[in-house]
Structure formats: structure tokens, C-alpha cells
Amino acid sequence: MKRRSKPTSFFHRICASLFVLVLTLSIALLFDNCSNRAEGGHASDEVPQAKAGLQEEGHGPITLVLHGGAGTIKKENMSPELEEDYKQEMKKALIAGYTVLEEGGSSVKAVTTTLQLLEASPLFNAGIGAVFTNEGENELDASIMDGATGLAGAVAGVTTVKSPILAAEAVMQHSPHVMMVGKGAEVFAKEQGLEMVDKGYFHTERRFQQLQKIKKAEEEGQKMGYLDRHHPNRKFGTVGAVALDKNGNIAAGTSTGGMTNKKFGRVGDSPIIGAGTYADNMTCGVSATGHGEYFIRSVVAYDIAATMSYKSMSLEDAAHEVIMKKLVEKQGTGGIIALDRKGNIAMPFNTSGMYRGYIQEKDLPKVFIYKE
């Protein structure tokens, strides 16, 4: 008996040690998972998230998501009529883009269709309704990226192209280049047969008055204007859309009039691939809106895709990580809309409001303005 007991007890000890080791490892793994979930535990009821088991192999349903800018947007500063106007314009744009997708159109086409409508609306800071530069001009920027091909196009500082997003699309489709700026971009757009307009086409009285107000405040030494991120009239107006078409292709686009009272020649993140716009079928499509300088320096749009890809995070967790943590730490304000191949949507923003919405079922556009 004694003889047997020794090896058994020795073996027992090894086994017990192994057991403890495995248990510790399991607990550690479990804990790691849990803490990841806790960090990412911000699932909003606002947007559809991956349904377990659904379309694990293929892609999600045709989906369109848009934004109309983020910033200091508060219910107390908004009339019910204006609020309704914003919502109606967003719904109209969502339905128009969704119709393209429903008829079998590409995600690129859905994005340009949606953004053309938002550019044509004086409510949003893009196209008509663009804000004024310090010099009293409207300088427009836009970009688009096709997640299926990896191709991209962008224009910056254009003043006479009716639809900047169409100009960006033309650069992508009909030039060997990605980005064209200023006069060169305008000559190219004209050569491509795009509709050109007088500079006055983009002017709206409301934006002109905004410029006067900010300039006056500056003169009064209130340190407002383009340096002040906290000006109550400061909206980071930009419009953007991301679409998933019936072939599972993602495209993203962004169009803007820039910042009120910006120095002329300033280019924000909207026409910068990787910062304001990014799309890749393998990860996601992203369009950003916010204080562009912070978005450029943090390469925000691509960072969400890289976080998904390299850290195996879900779209929602990656978007949350980049916008609600990393960008907040750097005091960068704004938000993004994003969409992955499964049709999952993320729309995080760290400002008081962001005009945003999505459509995933016919005639059922969902739109939001404030934090829900």
C-alpha cells in the first residue's frame, strides 16, 4: 500500500497543479472576454446589431446609413418645425438611396444619390447651405470610396461644381488620380460634363448671417470664430452616407462646406481618404463628421477598419473605441456613421447631437438628432 501511495500522490500533485493552471487560464480568458464586453457594453437599441447565426456566411440585407453633421445640437435650441424639417430631409434622402439599392443599383450609386439630395438641401452644410469662409466664399470638399475595388476619389476647395460628391466620383471613375484640388479639380469636373454653377448658387442667407455673427463676436474680442470649438453656433456640418448593396459591396462618401469662418484654403477631413471617408468590403464603410483637424491627425475612418481587422473587434466596439475613447482623450469632437458587410450599423458621436439615420426595410427610414 505504501509503495503505491507515493507515485499516486506525486501524480496527484502534478495533476492538481495542472488543474489549477487550466482553471486559472480559463478564468483569465473568461475575465478578459467579460471585460471586453463590459468595455464594449454600450449596445444601443437605436440600431440593428448582428443577429446571432444570421447570415454568418453571406452578407447582410441592403442597408443605407447617413449623417447630416454632428455638433452642439440641442433640443432647447431647436424649434419643432426645424426639427421636423431636418427629419423629413433625412428620410427623403434615405428613401432615395434605398430605392437605388432595391432596384439593384450599386452602393456607390446609392451613396451619390443620397448625398446629392443632402447637398441640395439648404439645411445641411454641403452644397447649397455650405458655410462661408472668412473671406465670404463657399469652398466645398467631398470624397468617396468603393469598398469592392478599393478605388477612391476626392475633390477639395471647389467653388463652382454643383455636386462635389459627383466630382469626387468622377475623379474615382474617370481619372488615374484619387485627389484633385481647386481650379484643377474644377477644370476636370467640367471636362467630365458635370454641371457647373455660379459661386452664388451655394449662398444661403442663414449661413451668411452665421459668418457675420461669428466675425462680429471675433471683433468684440470674444475669441470666437474658427478657433473656438465651443461656439454655440458651431455645427460641424458635413453630410455622409454609407451603403451596402445586394452584392455585398460597401461604399462610403462624405461632402462638406467646411468650417464657418475658416481660413480660405483650409481642407478638413471630409476629402481625406482614411480620415473622413473609408470603405473596404472586408471590414466596413465609414463617413465622419466633426472637428476635421482631429479626425485627420487620428486617421479616424481607417482606424475603425484597422481596429476591426487587427483586433478582431465588432464594428460597434471598434467605432466606440475610436470615437468615444481615443478621440475623446484627444479632445476631438464629432461622430461617424459606419456599416459592415453583415448590415450592422454604428453611429457613435461625442457631441450633444448628430443628424443621422438608416434604412434597412422599405419605407421604414429611422432618423435621430439628439442622444437617444
The catalytic residues are 238
Residue whose CB is less far from a copy of itself, 305 or 369: 305
Residue whose CB is less far from a copy of itself, 136 or 265: 265
φ and ψ at residue 247, rounded to 5 degrees: -90, 5
**HEC letters along 175-222:** CCCCEEEHHHHHHHHHHCCCCECCHHHHCCHHHHHHHHHHHHHHHCCC
Residue 60 CB contacts under 8 Å (≥ 6 apart), including other chains: 244, 248, 340, 341, 342, 343, 344
Query: CA angle, corner 259, sides to 85 and 318, nearest 5?
Result: 80
CA 305 to chain centre: 12
Query: Please, what is the minimum distance in Å from the beta carbon of residue 117 to a copy of itself?
Result: 27
Query: Please, what is the minimum distance in Å from the beta carbon of residue 183 to a copy of itself?
Result: 6
d(CA 231, CA 313): 35
Number of Cβ within 10 Å of residue 81's Cβ equals: 8
Contacts to a copy of itself by CB under 8 A: 4, 8, 11-12, 14-15, 18-19, 21-22, 25, 145, 150-152, 156-157, 175-188, 226-227, 262-268, 272-275, 278, 292-293, 296-299, 302-303, 306-307, 310-311, 330
Query: Please, what is the minimum distance in Å from the beta carbon of residue 150 to a copy of itself?
Result: 5
Residue whose CB is less far from a copy of itself, 79 or 230: 230
Rg (CA), the chain: 24
> Rounded to the nearest 10 degrees, how much is the dihedral formed by the CA atoms of 161, 166, 168, 173?
-130
Residue whose CB is less far from a copy of itself, 151 or 324: 151
Residue whose CB is less far from a copy of itself, 68 or 258: 258
Lookup: cell for 119: 447637398
Query: Please, what is the minimum distance in Å from the beta carbon of residue 15 to a copy of itself?
Result: 3
Measuring CA to CA, which residue among 58, 281, 252, 75 is closest to residue 169? Answer: 252
End-to-end CA distance of the chain: 72
Residue whose CB is less far from a copy of itself, 179 or 359: 179
Query: Please, what is the minimum distance in Å from the beta carbon of residue 311 to a copy of itself?
Result: 5
Q: Could you tell me if 355 and 86 are in contact, meaning their C-beta atoms sit under 8 angstroms apart?
A: yes
Query: Please, what is the minimum distance in Å from the beta carbon of residue 159 to a copy of itself?
Result: 11
